Chain A
Amino acid sequence: MTTTVAAPVASGAPAAKAKVHRSWTQHGLLFVAPFLLVYVAFLVWPTLLGLRMSFSSVNIAGTNDRMVGFANYAEAFGDPRMWRSLWNTLVFTALSTVPLVLLGLLFALLVHNLRFMQWLWRLSFFGPFLLPSAVVAVLWLQMIYPPEYGLINGTLGTDVLWLGDPGVAMWSMVLTTVWWTVGFNFLLYLAALQSIPQHLYEAAAIDGATGWDKLRSITLPMLSRTTALIVVLQLLASLKVFDQIYLMTGGGPEDSTRPIIEYAYDVGFTGYRIGYASAVSYILFVIIVVVSLVQLRLFRKREEVAS
């Protein structure tokens, strides 16, 4: 850390100056020490411990801690329930990311162009995001989805088992999640929209551009960096899905909604096999790292093209 920070400044500068800078970085380390300490203790260290556990047969009591090599990984790769839950997580990610990004953009455009009561629309779209997952789960579970007296079936006169039908349950989870979290993307988009310089639109208007032209040639390109950011954040958030599914369906019916994090929780905390649960977690970890790296590459390429 020290060298990478100091290097660009030090290059071509007198030695004395470099010394001053080094002492400053030492000071800086002191400043971030409280954060680093917590970061190492609660994130880095458990991550490393988890990796070690994934190669052991340790149970929830911390006993039976034998190193078993890749046995946990081998078992996981041959475990149909692991594949099923991993597939569920990927399906959820695919189904939820698209509407969350597109609707976020759509709502932001709507609100940005509305001239009256903007605060109300902003609040309406962002409000649900402020609710804790448990409140969201109870609201949808008890009031909106119940087949007999729920809001949806009651209003539409339909007879759908929103959470009881294995073919529908995942869509219901996506719907709930979109309602709950679209506000965050909406807010990011709205902020980005408000920072687009007005003179671009004025110039376009003088050139006779229609509303559609402005959207296509000014707004969307100016939002591209925000879009990239939102897509990354959204993919990562969706891959980590757990709370609302655990609370609303517990992974059912017929394992049709069980995400991989819940599977890790199940085998670890109710099956007591922490070692195996760690291996399952690391499989997801690797997937998340790969997704992030791919994203980063795409990001960089786009930026290179842009510059």
Chain B
Amino acid sequence: MQGPPPTISRRNLLGGSLALLGAGAAGCAIPVGLGSSQTRVKYWHFLGASDGIIMNQMVGAFAKEHADIFIEENVLAWGEPYYTKVAMAGAGGRSPDLATFHLARLAGIGAGQLLDPINVDLLAEAGLRGADFSPPIWQRAHYNGTLYAVPFDAHPMVQYYNTDICAKAGLLGADGKLRATTGPDELLAALRKAKDAMGGEPPLAFDALGLGTVGPWRVWWSLYPQSGGTLLSEDGSRITIDDAKALAALRFMRTLGEEGLCDPTTDYGASVAKFTNNQAAFLWNGDWETTGLKDRGTPFSMARFPSVFGTGAAQADCHVFVLPHQRNRDPEVERATYRFIAYLVKNSADWAVAGHVPAYLPALQEPEYLALQPQSEYRSVITDVALDPQVWYTGSASRLWIEFGEAFSPVISGERTPEEGLANAKAALTRLMSAPNPFPVQER
């Protein structure tokens, strides 16, 4: 310290602050050195709660086995904003390398513009073939003949049942599992027995009422497709609702309300709460309540959504992997991305703990998966799923779901006749069809 005392000139100060700023910015980045030998794959998803925990574990397990690949996992909030973010990222062309998506959203996001096609060769190189996936889901992963998504799972409507109440009502078989019913009469008979066992309380709970309720749509879109009913023509240009079949499903829903077999004033939260607290023998809902119910110790098991009008179809959407559009895709990162996808898909059995049914058929045979109770009880639904029509205005919490939910909710309570409910739904569908698609097909 012989020199003159240090003085801070303006230039030094400016330079110093800039350097500090730079250091700060670098500190925020994910700690993987640019010079490191790892290939970085940026992965976006919206999986929260138990889904999120399991996905995080799978990413960790992948990292252990693949030291050369670094998965940068980015968890974003579920819902509309997620799709906005993916759309904006895809529009800019500098998007994440991989994103989790809902299958029903494929048409709405303009596959081919905001999403890049899946490279089938690279997928095969990573060990995945189309024949290994549930056919209806694999087919729906295509848009205008091009593959845009790799299916991961389906989350169908299922029937949760309270084992204590059902045993009391004599509805369980010798193996302690619910005896499957076929047709409306058998189901109604079972529900009536459960009602008696519960002292006249409504035995069935599902999301039937509420602001923006989609429960009535999901129940209807499980019942109606069982009889082979469709909503729209293949190209989405015409309404193809079969009135007789649609009304049969609606009348059945009305019967449930009329006979007090379900409580038409139950909203989503109340339906789950009732079942959790042993106040309902049955719950019709998506499979995602499995972990929550297990945690809370409700005596329950699960079965496929009952077959009422023919097949055992059940409303479902699927988690899939998509590649948001990138202007310049690094081939090395691309390969790593496919390896990561293949790893997740092949280890679907781990994922199934959350309740979702793997779309990858070999996973359904694994002992590890079959041992999952009750998650493996409804696995056969995977080839029977009723997916949304492939038009741009469908998908989770879409306008279509909400409009149909609002049209059918008063049918269950009897405030509206099934005929009026159907007329309202058709009017809403006509409105939705007349709005212009932001991503018209001919644009591609």
Contacts and interface: CB of A to CB of B under 8 A. Distances in A.
Contact of A270 (B80, B439, B443): B80
Given A60-B91, A62-B91, A272-B87, A252 B211 contact: yes
Contacts of A61: 87, 90-91, 110, 113-114, 325, 439
Interface in B246-302: none
A269 interface: yes
B84 A270 contact: yes
A164 B90 CA distance: 36
Interface in B420-444: 435-436, 438-440, 443
A37 to B, nearest CB: 23
Contacts of B81: 270
A57 B87 CA distance: 17
B391 interface: no
A252 B87 contact: no
A64 B211 contact: no
B211 A59 contact: no
Given A252-B211, A254-B211, A64 B439 contact: yes
A63 B84 contact: no
Given A61-B91, A61-B113, A64-B443, A273 B436 contact: yes
B212 interface: yes
Given A252-B212, A270-B80, A64 B91 contact: no
Interface in B77-100: 80-81, 83-84, 87-88, 90-91
A271 interface: yes
Contacts of B114: 60-61
B211 A164 contact: yes
A253 interface: yes
A1 B412 CA distance: 68
B110 A272 contact: yes
B436 A63 contact: no
B438 A64 contact: yes
Contacts of A270: 80-81, 83-84
Contacts of A254: 211
A269 B80 CA distance: 9
Given A63-B113, A269-B84, A270-B83, A57 B436 contact: yes
Interface in A260-284: 269-274, 276
Size category of the A interface is 10 to 19
Contacts of A62: 91
Interface in B93-113: 108-110, 113
Q: Select the residue from A270, A273, A274 with max chain B CB neighbours within 10 A.
A: A270
B155 to A, nearest CB: 22
Nearest to A265: B84
Contact of A64 (B80, B84, B90, B440): B440
B444 to A, nearest CB: 9
Nearest to A271: B438
A178 to B, nearest CB: 25
Contacts of B109: 272
A63 B443 contact: yes
B369 to A, nearest CB: 36
A238 to B, nearest CB: 25
A172 to B, nearest CB: 15
Contact of A59 (B325, B435, B439): B439
Contacts of A253: 211
Contacts of A63: 110, 113, 439, 443
A271 B91 CA distance: 14
Interface string A250-262: 0011100000000
Contacts of A271: 438
Contacts of B83: 270
B212 A60 contact: no
Given A254-B211, A270-B80, A272-B110, A60 B88 contact: yes
Nearest to B444: A63
Interface string A41-71: 0000000000000000101111110000000
Contacts of B113: 59, 61, 63
Nearest to B439: A59
A254 B212 CA distance: 7
Nearest to A71: B436
A75 B443 CA distance: 22
Nearest to A272: B438
Interface in A17-37: none
Interface string B360-375: 0000000000000000
B79 to A, nearest CB: 9
Contacts of A274: 438
A253 B406 CA distance: 13
B211 A60 contact: no
Nearest to A249: B211
A273 B84 contact: no
A75 B435 CA distance: 9
Q: Which 7 A-B pairs have the closest CB atoms?
A: A59-B438, A61-B91, A272-B438, A270-B80, A253-B211, A273-B438, A269-B84
Interface of A: 57, 59-64, 75, 164, 252-254, 269-274, 276
Given A60-B438, A164-B211, A272-B439, 7 more contacts: A60-B84, A61-B91, A61-B113, A64-B443, A253-B211, A272-B108, A273-B438
24 contacts: A57-B438, A59-B439, A60-B84, A60-B87, A60-B88, A60-B114, A61-B110, A61-B114, A61-B325, A61-B439, A63-B443, A64-B443, A75-B435, A252-B212, A253-B211, A269-B84, A270-B80, A270-B83, A272-B87, A272-B109, A272-B110, A272-B438, A273-B436, A273-B438
